[in-house]
Amino acid sequence: MNSRMNAFRSRLGGFAFGGDYNPEQWDRSVWDEDMTLMRQAGVNLVTVGVFAWASLEPAPGEFTFDWLDDVMDLLHRNDISVDLATPTMAPPAWLSQQFPDVLPVMEDGETFGFGSRLHFDPSSPAYRQAATRITTALAKRYSHHPALAMWHISNEFGPTAYNAHSSVAFRDWLRRRYGTLERLNDAWYTRFWSQVYTDWEQVNVPEVPRSWSNPARRLDFKRFVSDTLLECFIAERDIVRSYRDDIPVLTNFMRFYKNADYWRWAAEQDAAALDIYPDPGRDDSHIPAALNFDLMRSLRGEPWVLMEQAASGVSQWKVNNVKRPGRMRLGSYQAVAHGADTVMYFQWRASRGGQERFHSAMLPHSGTGARTWREVSALGNELPRIAEVAGADSTADVAVLFDWNAWWGLTETHGLPRNDFDYTQLQTDHYRPLWQAHHAVDFVSFGSDFGRYRAIVVPNAYLVDDRCARELEAFVRGGGTVICSFFSGVVDECNQVRQPAYPGAFRDLIGAYIDEYWPARDNETVNVSFADGTPAIADWWQDSIHPESATVLARYTSGPLAGRPAVIDNTLGDGRFVYIGTRLEPAALAAVLLGALADAGVRPVVPDAPAFVEATVRQTAEHRYLFLLNHSDDAPATVTTGERGVDLIGGEPVWDVVRLAPLQVAVIRVTE
């Protein structure tokens, strides 16, 4: 466990509760009311300064720290700790006025102007210098302020730029990766369409239009974008660390964010931190939320930080639904159930103006008379009841492979048998049945240690690197179970097709070769029959599988591949590789996954519960905590836990069976 985070948890005495606090938007007359209401609501941590650059440095090198001094002092006097942000995601107007090429060139070739946020090219030297200056000034001044509990480096790192500076930086990155142009040309397969580079100066960021560039170049560009943003993070992190080394430094991640390989990022920070805005307009948005929570926990194998959520609706979508009564509380506990040690919001007080004036806040426009305020303050006052859970770990016997390289390969490089793959939807399709069956789930990447698990689920890993292929083989030979879906193992890390036959890296693992990938026509379905006669429907895709050592678990009974294998099962060493060559309907996919997990000895968290109940465990050296959450709006739930304990929220003892009203939560300290 990260020692800085341990110190942070100790300081907070359990869970952190609070949100982004932007006092620079308000008259000082409001600040006192803020303090009173924060205390009423149980706030013990606020994030300050995220977009305050213009308020802190109104002219290059001229700082106006007085107001921030006062805010820090005021918060400290009110026993509220500060997560202090560097404001570098929105440079002031003077920066792009002085250096117009700080502004990023967008995908369509136009320059993104000043007037919102993210308006910089992360490779711009002028931007880097200015970010260093403000970060250094902040670190110098506040590193030892008693209110300081955490550093929040910039915010939701995200921008992709196609500027001349980006091309220079991309070239440098490529030079470091490949050394010579010859190796670059090989990796990018540039003899195709006469794309050979003979001078480094010819190499640029992908050209306009960027939709069908060389697939290896696109892939490397995604890697470069992630690495370049990470470089910005590290630069700021190292500055604040140089002034004080004992408090956590992190930045906030986003839900399913494609431009940053969070496996690499998490390793550089003291904790993973997530901003999550599930759509209240969708009935099932808590399932991809759970996936993202498990991903956050898995990134470092530790508790994580819920840095932002909405108290109710957001404002950027076409329709921004509110969180209905009880949903915000439920969603907050859900994050905790999956390892979060904080419950934080964007933002404390709703802005009167600006782009996000209707983004909900802890303290809404209509003030303390509003439902949202009542729910927020109730939660802030309830959360301390489970304070002992903060810092508790989680474990799982099954892991899902979620890797940014696989994602990029499948969705960014075009020219596939079909070009409408949705990696995060496929991930969710494989995660949902595990969630509904109450399995504890971790995520792993190409570089992870698979040995800790009994089973690995591999959703559609079109691109895998050699190491991952080797490790998967070792895992299976050592007794592990892999369940893998179609179009996996096909290309190497340069997006080049592995030869001499599909599915490339996995041919020996699946014990079969595939001669063709058959995308289905729109609305075309085929019938599948399992060995025990169970029928199922499949659609969207069919691998044309030729078993070598594999046995057949299911065959097509209609369509162009009738009689051919749909799902196969291969034994290798002491383990097993189940390969699903089509898109099975959800129930059939669930049956294959859950059957293989059961065979592998993976057990769910609770023996019996409705599918709409979520069940997770966190544990400390002393205790196991069982979280049960009823996600139904109207159905009460009965859960058989097989355990006894005490519900920390209600304070009542639990004997095996737990009854949960709709939207209710139990956090049970299990009596061993």
Annotated binding residues, as ranges? 117, 155
Residue 643 binds to a copy of itself (criterion: CB under 8 A): no
Residue among 57, 302, 308, 471 flagged as catalytic: 308
Residue 545 has which token pair?
């599988």
Q: How far is the CB of 421 from a copy of itself (least distance, A)?
A: 11
Instruction: Specify the stretch interacting with a copy of itself by CB under 8 A; choose among 333-341, 410-418, 580-588, 609-617.
Output: 410-418
CA distances from 175 to 179, 184, 448 (A): 5, 8, 27
Are the C-beta atoms of residues 650 and 669 closer than 8 Å to each other? no
Residue 585 binds to a copy of itself (criterion: CB under 8 A): no
Place of tokens 């205390």: 39
Among 29, 61, 176, 522, binds a copy of itself (CB under 8 A): 522
**The one-letter amino acid at 19:** G
Place of tokens 């992630």: 226
Which three-class secondary structure state does DSSP give residue 12? Answer: helix
Residue 213 binds to a copy of itself (criterion: CB under 8 A): yes
Are the C-beta atoms of residues 51 and 23 closer than 8 Å to each other? no
Q: How far is the CB of 603 from a copy of itself (least distance, A)?
A: 38
> Residues 12 to 51: which contact a copy of itself by CB under 8 A?
22, 24-25, 51
Residue 175 binds to a copy of itself (criterion: CB under 8 A): no
Nearer to a copy of itself, 53 or 408 (CB): 53
Instruction: Specify the stretch interacting with a copy of itself by CB under 8 A; choose among 87-95, 229-237, 563-571, 576-584.
Output: 87-95
Residue 90 binds to a copy of itself (criterion: CB under 8 A): yes
Among 29, 521, 651, 672, binds a copy of itself (CB under 8 A): 521
Helix (H) or strand (E) holding 517: strand 512-519
Place of tokens 């465990």: 617
Q: How far is the CB of 640 from a copy of itself (least distance, A)?
A: 32
> Residues 315 to 374: which contact a copy of itself by CB under 8 A?
315-322, 324-325, 350-359, 364-367, 369-372
CB burial readout 180-210, b (16+ within 10 A) else e: ebeebbebbbbeeeeeebeeeeebbbbeeeb
Nearer to a copy of itself, 447 or 560 (CB): 560
Residue among 156, 302, 375, 614 flagged as catalytic: 156
CA distances from 148 to 25, 51, 80, 336, 646 (A): 21, 18, 9, 23, 35
Nearer to a copy of itself, 545 or 613 (CB): 545
Residue 643 has which token pair?
């355990």
Nearest to 468 by CA among 543, 549, 424, 403: 403
Cα–Cα dist 215/222, whole Å: 11
Residue 281 binds to a copy of itself (criterion: CB under 8 A): yes
Q: How far is the CB of 215 from a copy of itself (least distance, A)?
A: 7
Among 148, 289, 399, 416, binds a copy of itself (CB under 8 A): 416
Cα–Cα dist 327/311, whole Å: 10
Which three-class secondary structure state does DSSP give residue 295? Answer: helix
CA distances from 566 to 256, 401, 476, 534 (A): 30, 22, 21, 13
Nearer to a copy of itself, 385 or 546 (CB): 546
- How many chain residues bind a copy of itself (CB under 8 A)? 113
Nearer to a copy of itself, 331 or 645 (CB): 331
**Catalytic annotation present for 156:** yes
Who's near 530: CB < 8 A, 6+ residues apart?
Answer: 536, 553, 554, 567, 588, 591
Are the C-beta atoms of residues 229 and 122 closer than 8 Å to each other? yes
Residue 479 binds to a copy of itself (criterion: CB under 8 A): no
Pattern 54-83, a copy of itself, x by CB under 8 A: xx--xx------------------------
Residue 522 has which token pair?
């729109």
Among 178, 197, 256, 612, binds a copy of itself (CB under 8 A): 197
Residue 214 binds to a copy of itself (criterion: CB under 8 A): yes
Instruction: Specify the stretch interacting with a copy of itself by CB under 8 A; choose among 76-84, 201-209, 425-433, 662-670.
Output: 201-209
Nearer to a copy of itself, 55 or 377 (CB): 55
Nearest to 426 by CA among 440, 409, 413: 409
Which three-class secondary structure state does DSSP give residue 617? Answer: strand
Provide the CB-side half-sphere exposure for 213 (13 A, CA).
18
Residue 500 binds to a copy of itself (criterion: CB under 8 A): yes
Are the C-beta atoms of residues 8 and 333 closer than 8 Å to each other? no
Are the C-beta atoms of residues 214 and 187 closer than 8 Å to each other? no
Instruction: Specify the stretch interacting with a copy of itself by CB under 8 A; choose among 230-238, 452-460, 491-499, 662-670.
Output: 491-499
Q: How far is the CB of 150 from a copy of itself (least distance, A)?
A: 21
Residue 204 binds to a copy of itself (criterion: CB under 8 A): yes
Instruction: Specify the stretch interacting with a copy of itself by CB under 8 A; choose among 212-220, 576-584, 612-620, 646-654.
Output: 212-220
> Residues 112 to 141: which contact a copy of itself by CB under 8 A?
112-117, 119
Q: How far is the CB of 207 from a copy of itself (least distance, A)?
A: 2
Residue 420 binds to a copy of itself (criterion: CB under 8 A): yes
**The one-letter amino acid at 468:** C
Among 417, 479, 535, 653, binds a copy of itself (CB under 8 A): 417
Helix (H) or strand (E) holding 530: strand 525-530
Among 415, 533, 563, 651, binds a copy of itself (CB under 8 A): 415
Place of tokens 């921030």: 68
> Residues 550 to 569: which contact a copy of itself by CB under 8 A?
560
Provide the CB-side half-sphere exposure for 633 (13 A, CA).
9
Q: How far is the CB of 457 from a copy of itself (least distance, A)?
A: 25
Instruction: Specify the stretch interacting with a copy of itself by CB under 8 A; choose among 121-129, 188-196, 251-259, 385-393.
Output: 188-196
Q: How far is the CB of 22 from a copy of itself (least distance, A)?
A: 8
Are the C-beta atoms of residues 556 and 564 closer than 8 Å to each other? yes
Among 188, 277, 346, 475, binds a copy of itself (CB under 8 A): 188
Are the C-beta atoms of residues 645 and 670 closer than 8 Å to each other? yes
Nearer to a copy of itself, 213 or 298 (CB): 213
Residue 523 binds to a copy of itself (criterion: CB under 8 A): no
Q: How far is the CB of 396 from a copy of itself (least distance, A)?
A: 34
**The one-letter amino acid at 188:** W
Q: How far is the CB of 580 from a copy of itself (least distance, A)?
A: 19
Query: Which ranges in 123-256 belong to alpha helices (H)?
Result: 125-142, 164-178, 181-188, 215-243
Cα–Cα dist 468/137, whole Å: 43
Q: How far is the CB of 515 from a copy of itself (least distance, A)?
A: 4
Q: Which residues are annotated as a binding site for substrate?
A: 117, 155
Nearest to 325 by CA among 637, 43, 633, 659: 633
Which residues are catalytically annotated? 156, 308
